[in-house]
Each structure stands twice: as structure tokens, then as C-alpha cells.
Amino acid sequence: MKFQTSLFHYIVFLSAALAGGSWVLAGEIKAEQYEHARWHPMHFEPAIDQATDEQCLSCHREILDRKVLDQSPAGVKASEALAWYQTLNTYEGPQETFHRRHLVTPLAKNLMDMKCTTCHQGNNPREEAPIPPDVAMTDFTLRKMVDPETCLMCHGRNPYERMGLPGPWAESRETFQNNCLLCHAGIRTNRHRVNYLKAEAIEELGTKDADICYGCHGGRQWYRIAYPYPRHAWQGMGEEVPEWAKDRPTESQPRFRITQEQASK
């Protein structure tokens, strides 16, 4: 995994930021300037699209610095807690905070390439909703600073019915030799080729262990619906579009599309 340590990012982008001179970093902001900092253009479209993690973290560094409690007030030790999804063999290390799990822990570093702006797209904290309110603009969801639809991309329900499985994967996995690739070796979309994932690493690990696939596609299914993934064409894809896929786009949202530079890594 070259060029992937956060530290390296920091150095690269710190230099860039200082050279560019247009961005504010925490060190330049005094406490009494909080009001100005809070409304810095970097927090909003379009500048936020260019914001680097290093810039974000220079103020919001508690996102990575803060650790979970060693033990809860009632004495539950973090080291002895284990959620079911944490038994997956990609999941390792001590209990961590949500942000660290998405940015700096091994799973995050190995399989994902998430940035602050992957989820945080910036909005006016004074605006509860777009003006006028618009049901289509779900990125404003009444006080969530992150659109839950973004989370749904990985944390949705496993739509086993659509895959023609007899039951939920937990029940039918034995039938399919606990091997997703039994079917998906042929039915392959390129949907991992998005800029917040590391497609090759995922593919490679997926061949070794179906739990890797399941870990996202239903394993950590916080939500009760599946994400309506874009229907990327793949070689050998049937001509007929099934009913449930009819309205789906054929590409990821532009901001998730992979650039040439990233693709060559």
C-alpha cells in the first residue's frame, strides 16, 4: 500500500497548503476567531470539494485523536467487548471510534480510501434544508451533517431475494459453499471502482474469504433497505434489465468516480 499512510498525506498536503497559501490551518486561527473560522468558505460548496483531510483535521483533529473509553462507567471493558460484526477476520485491533474505523484502522487503510469529504460535503449549519425544501435533495436530511444515503452504500441490507437466494445469506451460505464468487465470478460489476474504495485489494481478499464480501454487503447492515447501486455494465451482462433495476443509473455519482490518476495507482 504505497503512499497511503495518513502521515504521508499530511506532509504532502501541508506543503501544498502552505505553498498555495489560500487555506486556513488550525495553527493560524485564534480561539476568538471561532466565528470567522466556522464560516470559512472551506466548509461549503464548492471549496469543500478541494479540502484535504489534512486541512480538515488541523481543526477537527479530535476526530482521530479521541479514543474510546478503556471502560464504560459501569465497568464494561472496551477490550472485552465484541460485536458480532467484529468477529469477521478483516476486523482487528482494539475497539475504536467510528471515525478511526473509517479512516485509519487497518481495514480502512487496506480496503478503503475514504476522505473527510467522502461523507462531509459541507452545508450551511444554519440551513435545515435547501430553500425551497426539495425531496430530491436528500443530502440535506434535517440536521444530519452527513447524508445517510452515503452510509447506505456499504451498510444496507443484503438483497438476497434479488440474487435469487433461498434465504438470507446467514442461512443459505452453506448451500453456496460460503463462497460469493461461486456466482459473482461471472456476474461482476465494477462497482468497487470508486474513489473511496480500493477495488483491487477488495477483489483479492474477496477471493480468499466470502466474509469480506458479506462484511459490507449485508454484514454491517444497519439499515433495513439495500442501496440501489448504479448498474455498471459488465461483460456478459444480460440484455434484459430486471424490473428492480430499471430506473437505476449506469454510473456512480460523479464525485465518486475514479480519476485516471487514482486508477493508475
In the complex with another protein, the residue whose CB is nearer, 127 or 247, is: 127
Of residues 124 through 163, those in contact with another protein by CB under 8 A are 124-135, 137-138, 140-146, 148-149, 151-152, 155
Q: Retrieve residue 164's grid coordinates.
A: 435469487
Residue 111 CB burial class (10 angstroms; 0-12, 13-18, ≥19): buried
Radius of gyration of the chain (CA): 21
DSSP state of 193: -
For residue 167, count CB atoms less than 10 angstroms from its CB and return exposed for 0-12, middle for 13-18, buried for 19 or more.
exposed
259 burial via Cβ count (<10 Å: 0-12, 13-18, 19+): exposed
Minimum distance, C-beta of residue 114 to another protein, in the bound complex (Å): 13
* Closest separation in Å from C-beta 29 to another protein: 11
Q: Which is nearer to another protein, 19 or 31 (CB)?
A: 31
- In terms of CB distance, is 126 or 246 closer to another protein? 126
Q: How far is residue 95's CA from residue 2's CA, in Å, rounded to a whole number?
A: 26
Mapped onto helix, strand or coil, the DSSP state of residue 112 is: strand
Task: Say whether residue 33 binds another protein (CB under 8 A).
Answer: yes
167 binds another protein (CB under 8 A): no
Roughly how many angstroms between the first and final C-alpha of the chain, as a whole number? 10
Are the CB atoms for 110 and 201 separated by under 8 Å?
yes
Question: Which stretch, 28-36, 49-57, 189-197, 250-258, contacts another protein (CB under 8 A)?
Answer: 28-36
Among 46, 224, 239, 261, binds another protein (CB under 8 A): 224
247 touches another protein (CB under 8 A):
no
Question: Residue 257: helix, strand or coil by DSSP?
Answer: strand
- Mark the segment that binds another protein (CB under 8 A) among 181-189, 197-205, 218-226, 250-258: 218-226
Which listed range, 90-98, 179-187, 190-198, 233-241, lies at the site for another protein (CB under 8 A)?
90-98
- 83 makes contact with another protein (CB under 8 A): yes
- Asked if 236 and 186 count as a contact pair (C-beta separation under 8 A), the reply is yes
If binding is defined by CB under 8 A, does position 222 make contact with another protein?
yes
Which residues in the 95-114 window bind another protein by CB under 8 A?
95-99, 101, 106
- Taking the C-alpha atoms of residue 110 and residue 202, their distance in angstroms, rounded to an integer, is 8
By CB under 8 A, name the one of 5, 38, 208, 253 that touches another protein: 38
Is 19 among the residues that bind another protein (CB under 8 A)? no
Residue 249 in contact with another protein, rule: CB under 8 A: no
Q: Rule CB under 8 A: is residue 77 a binding residue for another protein?
A: yes
234 binds another protein (CB under 8 A): no
Classify burial at 53, counting beta carbons within 10 Å of its beta carbon; exposed 0-12, middle 13-18, buried 19 or more: buried
